Amino acid sequence: MVERLVVWLYDTPIGVLRPPDERGTFGLEWLPDARQRWGDNSVILSTSLPIGDRFDKQPRRVRNFFENLLPEGPARAAMAKMIRVSETNTFELLAAFGRDCAGAVSLLLENETLKGDGDGGYRVLSTDDLRDELARIDVVPLGADLDGDFRPSLAGFQRKLLVGRTDDGEWSKPYGNAPSTWILKPDGNIPSAVNEFACLNFARMCGITVPAAELIHIDGVPTLAIHRYDRNGRDRVHQEDGLQATGFPSRMKYESDKGPSLRQLSVIVNEFGNPDDVDELLRRAILHLVLGNADAHSKNISLLHPSSDVGIKIGPIYDIASTVSMKPIDEFGNAREFTTQLGQFIDGVKDVNDVTRDDLVAEGISWGVGRGSAEAIIDGFLDTAREAANADDSGLREVLTQRVQRISVGRKGDLKG
């Protein structure tokens, strides 16, 4: 049983994480290196965990932040089975799989280090190797190899494989200190690869920053390959998601589960980032509505923390889909429908098909955006989205065009009933 983990950030040991006590509270002791490099009250790790804080008033924030580094659902259960612990044993899961996490966080044993030891690299994967790795991800999530010293964790519910890539485009498997730099997301019961690739291209056409992505086929399976925006070459770039930033547990990513609202995230961006990013947050809310993406939630929002600690910035958009266009099947091969309830509501409106321009304006105003500015942002984005929809060749054109028209109605109720 592991009793202490050292938290590393930007190659600096910043804290010691201890297992939960009888109340389930994790302990986090800040190390002098954190204070020396960034100073007390710095939010370089998280806006919910300022350096030097003792967490007396909200002790569960520590557990919430670190638990949000782990995947959800079947992937988490499979990881627990790999190391023969309960899937509720968050600390042991972090000890086993916390070396390569989202952002620049690494969780290491006390006798390990990330700084200056030069250990790590990549092993090129043959076509057969890659096929085998993908075939095993339900049993060995993310491509983890504890014996081979690849111990990754990445949040989310979707099946995925973490890899590196050579300069000439070959996929490779990291080991040691080498970070994964690409994510491969193969189709499963939910045929998402083509849909997500189309949505990323549409977002780019609308002026939203997206990570580099390719649609490939591995052993005949459509697979989305996404470059990790929290990597710069072999350097890790720190980021946290909206749940971590607001201090919520992983089970509360949807607003319907009492999770963070868009307004709460706008407060974080306003306080610690560039006010222009509040406008960007509004543009992304419109994008999700145009796509018909009811599954956008707080873990789909990333906040980047540069090592200089000059403030946070919204990261590229990711995990987007036109859920109203998808036709998933259940484990028995039967067709089912996605819910149309929004992951985060717009001015209290809960259904992705019911939100109009006026709802968006009211939502923006609640964040502190002036009415004139909110209307200009919304109308400008809808004009851009209309042009992008007309140029779309992915098969989503009709859906996108209809949704732009639906949202553009100026008064509540015009399209209802």
pLDDT of residue 297: 97
pLDDT > 70: percent of the chain: 95
Distances 111 to 42, 93, 108, 304 between C-alpha atoms, Å? 27, 18, 8, 29
Q: Which residues are catalytic?
A: 295
CA torsion sign, 115 to 120 to 121 to 126?
negative
pLDDT of residue 370: 97
pLDDT of residue 417: 33
Instruction: Check whether 203 has a pLDDT greater than 50.
Output: yes
- List pLDDT tens digits, range 112-167: 887 654 678 999 999 999 999 999 999 999 999 998 889 999 999 999 999 999 99
Least trusted range by pLDDT, from 96-100, 141-145, 205-209, 330-334: 330-334
pLDDT of residue 249: 96
pLDDT of residue 330: 61
- List pLDDT tens digits, range 78-92: 999 999 999 999 999
pLDDT of residue 327: 74
Long-range contacts of 354-357 (CB under 8 A, 24+ apart): 354/416, 355/289, 355/407, 356/406, 356/407, 356/409, 356/410, 356/411, 356/412, 356/414, 356/415, 357/382, 357/407, 357/408, 357/409, 357/410
Segment 364-384 mean pLDDT: 97
Provide CB contacts within 8 A for 59, sequence distance 6+. 23, 25
Tell me the C-alpha distance between 206 and 387, whole Å.
9
- List pLDDT tens digits, range 308-318: 988 999 999 99
Mean predicted lDDT score pLDDT of the chain? 93
Instruction: Check whether 416 has a pLDDT greater than 70.
Output: no
Instruction: Check whether 292 has a pLDDT greater than 70.
Output: yes
Instruction: Check whether 183 has a pLDDT greater than 70.
Output: yes
Instruction: Check whether 7 has a pLDDT greater than 60.
Output: yes
Tell me the three state secondary structure of residue 281. Answer: helix
- List pLDDT tens digits, range 224-264: 999 999 999 999 999 999 999 999 999 999 999 999 999 99
Domains of the chain by residue range = 5-108, 120-232, 248-408
Closest CA to 322 of 160, 192, 208: 192
CATH code of the domain made up of 248-408: 1.10.1070
Model confidence at 280, in pLDDT bands (50, 70, 90)? very high
Distances 347 to 45, 260, 316, 342, 394 between C-alpha atoms, Å? 31, 14, 24, 11, 31
| Interhelix angle 397-408/357-366, nearest 10 degrees | 70
pLDDT of residue 335: 63
Say if CB 66 and CB 18 are below 8 A apart.
Answer: no
Tell me the C-alpha distance between 301 and 8, whole Å.
23
Instruction: Check whether 411 has a pLDDT greater than 70.
Output: no
Q: What is the DSSP string of 197-227?
A: HHHHHHHHHTT-----EEEEEETTEEEEEEE
pLDDT of residue 413: 44
Instruction: Check whether 360 has a pLDDT greater than 70.
Output: yes
Tell me the three state secondary structure of residue 355. Answer: coil
Instruction: Check whether 55 has a pLDDT greater than 50.
Output: yes
Say if CB 246 and CB 48 are below 8 A apart.
Answer: yes
Closest CA to 303 of 250, 241, 246, 248: 241
Single pTM value for the model: 0.93
Provide CB contacts within 8 A for 48, sequence distance 6+. 61, 64, 65, 244, 245, 246, 247
